Chains A and B, each alone.
Chain A
Amino acid sequence: MQELHTYTPHSRIRRILGPLFAIACVLATFSGVVVLSILLGSVLSTGLGHQAGRPWYHLPQNAWDLGQLLLSLATKTPGESAQTTGFRVGVVSSLWLLGLVTLFAVPVGLGAAVYLEEYVRPGRFKAVVQTNIANLAGVPSIVYGILGLTLFVRGFGFKPFALGYSIWSGALTLSLLVLPVIIIAAQEAIRAVPTTYRQAALALGATRWQTVRDHVLPAALPGIMTGLILSLSRAIGETAPVLMVTQASSLLNPPRGPGDQYVPLPLEIYNYAKYPDPADQTLAAGGILLLLVLLISMNAVAIVIRNRSGRLNRN
């Protein structure tokens, strides 16, 4: 809109209001960035609080300290004092959950997305399923926790099906939670694949399944990966649902298999954050740092994949 800048209205109020509004919009947008930096800064300063901190401009040493701190936090198991304790149980539990949720939710989510985009005809069934998925994406996460508690932990009253407070229950609960998000993201990616790809494959004698498997899915892969990583990072950061499907408030040793009890990282953070003691608060901040490092690296991977694929498509 270059030509607009040459036009100025006569009325003074109209001349003043425009820039004022633009400034308000800019401020509102960058408030997010400000909040993000305040948040990181405050967590960092609390997390590093118990160390004799060097001034912030000793950046390399501080970064080294931070790395050391994160490493020690990630590898230590709960100890008697705040200095010796760590989040090893949480990190191991969360990684187990991440793996199992990937195992459960990704194939099912992809399958449903492919079915909705490539197989089912537009009609009442598709409309109902689609509305249902959108509604499921809006269900509060704590309701999924209750679902998991009843269905997986207690087996809905049937003892043989009850999985107890094991990693299985947590992973299944989180899988149901992220399933709608995965489906919606994958559907968008699949929809973006040009129809000509399908026509070409079908014309050469491929069956519908071969078309989907060998042509549509590979073409949609970058978009699907981005959506998957974002949804999985959501699963890792969730606290409320796992609060419902874990029993132990703290464990001495990390889980060894999916049948063991577990305390994921966000829950460990919550367990420290709810006590007003400064030592506990420092630990909570350290745990949050670990969690954010994990999530931000996952998000960064997703953004890189998206940018790359965008460049490929344009060429």
Chain B
Amino acid sequence: MNKSGQISTPELWAPPGLWRRLEGPLAHLFLLLCTLTTVLTTISIVVILSVQSAQFFRVSGISPIRFLTGTDVEAPHFGILPLIWGTFMIALGSSVIALPVGLLSAIYLSEYAPRKVRAVLKPSLELLAGIPTIVYGFLALQLVTPGLRLLLNPFGLDVEQFNALSACIVVGVMVIPMVSSLSEDVLSAVPQGLREAGYGLGATKFEVSTRIVLPAALSGVFASFILALSRAVGETMAVVLAAGRVPSITLNPLVSIETMTAYIVAVVGGEEAPGSPTSLSLFAVAMVLFIVTLSMNIVSRIVLARYREAYV
């Protein structure tokens, strides 16, 4: 037994019977293979995306720089800057909703809520997180866009059928449970002694929550923010349904935009022959998407690891 409670001594004792001697090593082998599946998955993703992206750059004759900076998404040009713009517009727009609401609800759950209320709220947040994204997309079309029209048309603002704002709203709502549950974990992990010290000095609950607990858990909260952003970047169905497919670099949230994920869905639905530049382009776009979300995940883990060192 080592510190972490694991069994790390070699097996000196062999049970009687051939099968009982064999089943241990066989099980060990099976379990190892299971574990290696995950490594293989990562390797296949990386290999497939890089091989096919290389193929795309070769077939289409577009340089990676022009691919990333070009502003015309259409077939012979393949400049995906509008897609990257659209993706980050959705991600940032949705975090305007998700981050404050998620953080406030995390503070409520960890600092204010009585234990019984919390026992009910946490599972219902999980339930909310389990609702398929297609439902949110449908909600954007059915409820949010008509609502926005009702609200903004009297001011002379024209809201398109597909628009970035409704996608931002539903994606924001969608990632609230994630921000809230991850932030709540780190807020609850702040040692009770810090809070008691604050109360001892005459701070109110509000002051303890915002000036002691929150700063103490700040890096963990940031980590959850980054994860939520990365989730919004990778979000597909809600954005496809709500934001439409008109690639554009604009700051106007009331018009249609196209994200990287929506582009991939459009290419797959477009029945291009496999091997054509257009059908290969989805691998290059997916590569960009993969790199962006992976780096966000890694950054969030680094931030979180730093936090853990401080208290545990």
A interface residue numbers (CB < 8 A to B): 1, 4, 7, 9, 14, 17-18, 21-22, 24-29, 31-33, 35-36, 38-39, 42-43, 46, 107-112, 114-122, 129, 131-136, 138-143, 145-147, 149-151, 154, 156, 176, 179-180, 183, 195, 198-199, 202, 205, 207-213, 230, 233-234, 237-240, 243-244, 266, 269-270, 273-274, 276, 281, 284-285, 288, 291-292, 295-296, 299, 303
Contacts and interface: CB of A to CB of B under 8 A. Distances in A.
A208 B297 contact: no
Contacts of A295: 130-132
B149 interface: no
Given A133-B38, A154-B274, A195-B5, A269 B134 contact: yes
8 contacts: A36-B127, A115-B34, A117-B6, A205-B15, A208-B7, A237-B134, A285-B138, A303-B123
B168 interface: no
B130 A22 contact: no
Contacts of A4: 199, 204-205
B59 interface: no
A207 B268 CA distance: 51
Interface stretch (B76-84, B152-160, B229-237, B247-255): B229-237
B24 interface: yes
B302 to A, nearest CB: 11
B181 to A, nearest CB: 11
A303 B4 CA distance: 29
A24 B210 CA distance: 13
Contact of B230 (A138, A198, A292): A138
Interface in B265-312: 265, 268-269, 274, 282-283, 286, 289-290, 293-294, 296-298, 301
Given A120-B35, A240-B133, 4 more contacts: A136-B41, A207-B20, A284-B138, A292-B131
A115 B132 contact: no
**B138, B180, B296, most chain A CB atoms within 10 A:** B138
A121 B261 contact: no
B20 A143 contact: no
Given A134-B297, A207-B13, A22 B1 contact: no
Interface in B152-202: 161, 173, 176-177, 180, 199, 202
A266 B132 contact: yes
Which secondary structure characterizes the binding site on chain A? helix
B31 A115 contact: yes
Given A33-B124, A143-B286, A111 B34 contact: yes
B137 A122 contact: no
Nearest to A191: B5
A207 B15 CA distance: 7
B112 A25 contact: yes
A21 B24 contact: no
Contacts of B61: none
Given A18-B206, A243-B268, A131 B301 contact: yes
Contacts of B15: 205, 207, 210
A9 B203 CA distance: 8
Nearest to B10: A208
A163 B20 CA distance: 38
Interface residues of B, number: 101
Contacts of A288: 134-135, 138
A179 B143 contact: no
A147 B138 contact: no
A292 B135 contact: yes
B37 A43 contact: no
B100 interface: yes
A116 B182 CA distance: 23
Given A21-B210, A121-B6, A240 B236 contact: yes
B148 interface: no
Interface in B1-57: 1-2, 4-8, 11, 13-15, 20, 23-24, 27-28, 30-35, 37-39, 41-42, 44-45, 48-49, 52
A32 B294 contact: no
A112 B142 contact: no
A239 B38 contact: no
B241 A274 contact: yes
Interface string B110-142: 011100000001011111101111110111011
A237 B128 CA distance: 13
Given A35-B128, A116-B35, A151 B44 contact: yes
A135 B297 contact: yes
Contacts of A139: 45, 234, 290, 293-294
Q: Which 3 A-B pairs have the closest CB atoms?
A: A140-B234, A111-B34, A237-B132
Nearest to A27: B104
A298 B5 CA distance: 33
A138 B235 CA distance: 11
A239 B121 contact: no
Contacts of B205: 1, 4, 18, 22
B108 A29 contact: yes
Contacts of B31: 111-112, 114-115, 119
Nearest to B271: A247
A274 B234 CA distance: 20
Nearest to B268: A244
A25 B135 contact: no
